[in-house]
Structure formats: structure tokens, C-alpha cells
Amino acid sequence: MVGFWNDPYDPGAMPRWLGRALAVIAFVVPTVLLGTVAAWGVDKVVHTDQVNRNVTLAGISVGGMTETELDEVIDRIAADTAHDLVTISAAGLDIVVTHVEAGITIDRDSIRRAVFSAGRESNPLSSFTSWVGGMTEPVDIDASFAVDIETATEMITATPGQVRLAPVEPGFTMATGELVVSEGEDGVYLDPRECAEALAAEVAFGGPPFSVDVPWSPMPPRFDDTDIAAAISAAEELIDNDLPVSINGNRAFIGKTTIRRWVESEVTDAGLVPVFDEDRVNESLEKLLVGQATALPEPNYLVANGVVTYGITGDPARTCCGDGSADLLYREAQRDGLFVTFLPTRLVEEDFGLERIKALGVTELVGEFTTEHSCCQNRVENIHQIADIISGYVLEPGERFSVNDYVGERTREKGFVPAGTIQQGHFKDDVGGGISQFATTLFNAAFFAGLEFDDYQSHTIYISRYPYGREATLNYPDVDLAFINNTPYAILIWAEYTDTSITVQMYSTKYWEVEQTDQSSRRSGACTSVETFRSRTDPEGEVYEDSVIARYRPGVGLDCAGNPTPRP
């Protein structure tokens, strides 16, 4: 049995071919294994400073590369991924930014270590096994990344919507006169540092595209009950005294009860402090100082060649109160009201009244009349004087204009001189004589402008230079000429004169279409009554009929009974 495998005559002996095959295997297998091991050893020596063969980085073959060549591949991957997107999500908010914006960069050191370690395990058997496996299957290394926490934190801090709900600071108000305190409430926000750290953890253990869910964090108010108590104590000190004020040269006192209603709390850089509410301050001041506003400026017109230009006369109207009033009063309250606060004023009309004047509608000629007279008489001087006084007067819609009320008594002090008048049916010189010619001219301009006469009287004796039955005279204080502006527009009375004529014009916006329609006369004793009829048509086409009446004596020095009258 000992020689069983070698006895050729033994039927149970191994066939010769099998023995030879086994002999070959016994020689070849150790030889191949030794060759493979030897190749592995040679490969290790050859690639000592290179990446092992058949290694890929993020799918890119890097086997056999030097460190410099590998860095070029890493640079390429870094450039390709710099603008990949990363998402940071909280309920109701998604922050989507690039790797660069989020502070995500390629982790070069980690990648180098992983790539050069591929197939170089410290255990020889494991290293050999890895090397052999790499002959058929590549070793793929994933690109790894790192997060700069500070960059990520700054990015999240600057992101709109990072504060989902701002905290409500505690506060108080005294608007009702009573102290009302409100409690603070937590807000909700994204904690930038926590978000950055959560992103860093995701990047450390995962691969792109990176996405991380983060919770909202509570955001408490800055101030607490201690701060409220200190602010209330400071507020009570503000309302210990009345405050003296001055506006437009007028003095007044603001009482403590009113001041108390101005106080409320406010969050400032200095902390939670009491302040004066500007709107409530201004509202109080306007009520308390309502009579301290200056008057609106009057319109100032100029007519040249029939063209009307305008401006204002006097200073623009100013009233209470200008910007900064609340701050001025607050500072004075801090000083216990020891000094007068001179309150700033504000313009009643920001455009100084120009728009108001434009809205009056004084744009075109709506009535005009001219009468003639001889040159160089005292009466002409009086005509010019009253024309200068009245010219430029603006009659507001619905306003009544009275010559006697506006001009007053005609006196030498006002520039009038003696000239002819009619008194008790006789001609007599008196100061202001001749101004009835201006009255007649003004009367006719108003007649054709469609204005409503409220008071007038004709001359008692007809004078041929005036329109028959359509004229007026004046005597202070009992004989007046007054009319009413019955249009929705203002009317400018404008007078121009020469040495031998006087013209009165009325400028407005055309409202009435006017014509004299008829005239009749009748006897009243020895006197004659003349009625002149006028038709006025408004913009709607409505027609209004009216008339004016003149009454003339039969002659100089006679009354309506034909009897002589005594000389004045």
C-alpha cells in the first residue's frame, strides 16, 4: 500500500497523466502566486509616490498620478462644484444658495489621504487583497467637502426672513390718561450658528447635493419687568409740571393732564424709555392753540394788456405746529418745565397759497365799462384816487362788496380833494366830489358781469356823460354801491384810467351771458323813473331776468313835486 500510487501494474494505482498534472499544478500554483506577490511588491515600489493603479476620484481616473497631478483634478472638481446648490429648510422658509455662498469648499487634505491610501492598507494581506481586487474593479473615492462655519453663519444672518416673527417688547401707554402695560412675547427665528453647524454635519456625513432641515428657535424680548418698571418711573417724572409754550408771539400753558396722554414707551438704542407720541402731541397742540395761526395771504393780481398774473401779498400763513414740537416739549419736560418752549410753526399752504389763488379762477375778462370826462379837474384827481384804492380787490364767491365799507369816508387825509357833488338837487363842491363817475363805471361793469346788486342809487339829476337809467352815485355813509358775487369763481376788480377816461374791468371765469333786453320809463310826480331790464343766462342755459331803476328829478334845485329845494 505504501507504493500504491507508483505501481504501474497495480490496477488501483493513479493514472500517469493525473500524476503529471498534479506535479505541474504543484509547481505552477506556487510559482504564479509568488509571481503575483512579486508583482504587487514591484508595483508598490514603482507607485510609492503615485496613486495606485485603477483608482478613481468622483469617477475620474487618477491611478498613477502624482500629488501635483492629483491636485489639478481636485481643482477641477472644486471649480465644477463651486456653484452647485445647497438647501437649508425650515418650516415656511427655504434658503437656496451656492456652495461658495454657504462656505462649502472641497476638502483637499481629506481627498489626498483617501486617494493615496487606496490599496495601501497597513495590513499586508489586506493591502495585497485590495491591490488584487483593483486589477478587475476600480477603487472609487468620493469627493469630500468641508464647511466654513463663520461664512455659513454670516450668510444665514444676512438672509431675508431669518426672523420669522419678531419678539414683541413689553411696553406701556398713557393715551387714555391711565397707565396701560402690555406684556412682551417671544419671537421665532433661525439661529444662524445652529443652522451652520447642522449644515456642517450634513456635509461631513453625506454627499452633494446637500440639503438640511433645521428647526425655528425662540427669540425672547430684550426687556423684562425690571426694564418696564424703570421706564414707568422715568415717565412719571416727565409729567410733574405744566409746560409753558409760545407760538407766533402768543403764550400758553400745557397742563399735566394733557401731557400725561402724550406718554408711551419706545424701544431705542438706549433701551426701553418713555417718549412723547408725536401725533398725539400735535393733535393736542392744534386744539389748544387753534387761534394762534396767522392769516392766509391775500392774492395779489396784476393785469397788463389784458393778461392776468398773480402772486400773494404778505407772509405765508403759519400755524401750529412744525416738525420737532414733540421733541422740544419732551426735553423741556425733562427740565421740569423751567423754560418757555418756542414751538416751531408749519406752513398752512405748502405752495404759499398759489394753488388756492389759481383755483379762484381769475383768468379772463367777464365785465368792462368805460366813461369819459374832461381833463385836469379836481374831480379827476378824486376819480383816480378811488380807482387806485379799489383796483385789485378780489371778490370771493358769495361775497358782498360795499364801496362805503371798503373805502370809508372820503377825506383829505386819504388823498381826496373838493370837487362838484349833487346835494339836495344842487351842485356843490365837497371833498371827494366826482367819484360818482367811478361808481357809475363800476356799476356798469358789474351789470354786464351779471352780478347781483344789493344797494345802489342813481344820481338825482341825469348827467349826459352817463348811460341813461343805468348809473349810480355815492355819498358816505347813506348812499352806497354794493353788489354780490353770485358765481362760483372769484372776481378781480381792476381799474385803469387816462386824463380823460376811467375804465373798470372785472376778471374771473365766464359764468353769465348778459345782455340789456329793454328799458322803460314812467312819471312819478315831476320825477322820472327809468327801469332797465337785464337777461342773464347761466352755464346750464337757465335764464334769469332782473332790472335796475334810476329816478331823476325834473331839474336842478327841484323835488319830485316840482318844488324848489333849499341849497345845502
Alpha-carbon gap, residue 517 to 506, rounded angstroms: 21
Take residue 450 and report the three cell numbers written for it: 351779471
Alpha-carbon gap, residue 545 to 563, rounded angstroms: 36
- Does residue 382 sit in the same domain as residue 341? no
Alpha-carbon gap, residue 87 to 93, rounded angstroms: 10
Take residue 486 and report the three cell numbers written for it: 353770485
Q: In Å, how far from its chain's centre is CA 290?
A: 27
Q: What is the pLDDT of residues 451-462, one digit of tens each?
A: 999 999 999 999
Of 526, 535, 529, the C-alpha closest to 564 is 526
- Does residue 475 sit in the same domain as residue 516? yes
Alpha-carbon gap, residue 534 to 548, rounded angstroms: 8
- Does residue 167 sit in the same domain as residue 264? no
Of 549, 388, 552, 560, the C-alpha closest to 456 is 549
Identity of the residue numbered 34: L
| Residue 9: predicted pLDDT | 45
- Does residue 333 sit in the same domain as residue 410? no
Question: By the 8 A CB rule, do 165 and 187 touch?
Answer: yes
| Residue 514: predicted pLDDT | 98
- Does residue 438 sit in the same domain as residue 400? yes
Distances from the Cα of 142 to the Cαs of 58, 106, 110, 377, in angstroms? 5, 11, 10, 118
Alpha-carbon gap, residue 436 to 418, rounded angstroms: 13
| Residue 44: predicted pLDDT | 52
User: Which DSSP symbol is given to 185?
Assistant: B
Range of the domain at 16: 4-45
Is residue 99 assigned to a domain?
Answer: yes
Q: Return the SS3 of 484.
A: strand
Number of domains, the chain: 4
- Does residue 248 sit in the same domain as residue 274? yes
| Residue 47: predicted pLDDT | 54
| Residue 551: predicted pLDDT | 95
SS (H, E, C) 161-183: CCEEECCECCEEECCCCCCEEEC
User: Which DSSP symbol is given to 295?
Assistant: P
- Does residue 180 sit in the same domain as residue 250? no
- Does residue 340 sit in the same domain as residue 375? no
477 CB-near residues (< 8 Å, 6+ apart): 404, 409
Is residue 338 assigned to a domain?
Answer: yes
User: Which DSSP symbol is given to 13?
Assistant: S
Q: In Å, how far from its chain's centre is CA 323?
A: 16
CATH number of the domain that residue 341 is part of: 3.10.20
Evaluated on CA atoms 26, 28, 29, 34, the torsion sign reads positive
Angle at CA of residue 472, ends 470 and 473, nearest 5°: 155
- Does residue 364 sit in the same domain as residue 340? no
Question: By the 8 A CB rule, do 146 and 105 touch?
Answer: yes
First to last CA, the chain: 189
Is residue 563 assigned to a domain?
Answer: no
Alpha-carbon gap, residue 44 to 513, rounded angstroms: 118
Alpha-carbon gap, residue 399 to 393, rounded angstroms: 12
- Does residue 66 sit in the same domain as residue 179? yes
Is residue 378 assigned to a domain?
Answer: yes
Residue spans of the chain under pLDDT 50: 1-9, 24, 28-29, 32, 36, 39-40, 126
- Does residue 465 sit in the same domain as residue 500? yes
- Does residue 402 sit in the same domain as residue 537? yes
List phi, psi (to 5°) of 27: -90, -45
| Residue 351: predicted pLDDT | 87
Is residue 50 assigned to a domain?
Answer: no
| Residue 264: predicted pLDDT | 96
| Residue 233: predicted pLDDT | 94
Take residue 139 and report the three cell numbers written for it: 477603487
**CA-based max dimension of the chain:** 198
Is residue 560 assigned to a domain?
Answer: no
Is residue 246 assigned to a domain?
Answer: yes
Take residue 431 and report the three cell numbers written for it: 371833498
| Residue 6: predicted pLDDT | 47
Task: Kindly provide the b/e burial profile for residues 476-497, where b requires at least 16 CB atoms within 10 angstroms of the residue's own CB.
Answer: eeebbbbbbbbbebbbbbbbeb
Q: What is the dihedral of CA 448, 450, 454, 458, to 10 degrees?
A: 20
Is residue 214 assigned to a domain?
Answer: no
Tell me whether the omega of the peptide bond preceding residue 299 falls within 30 degrees of 0, making it cis.
no
463 CB-near residues (< 8 Å, 6+ apart): none
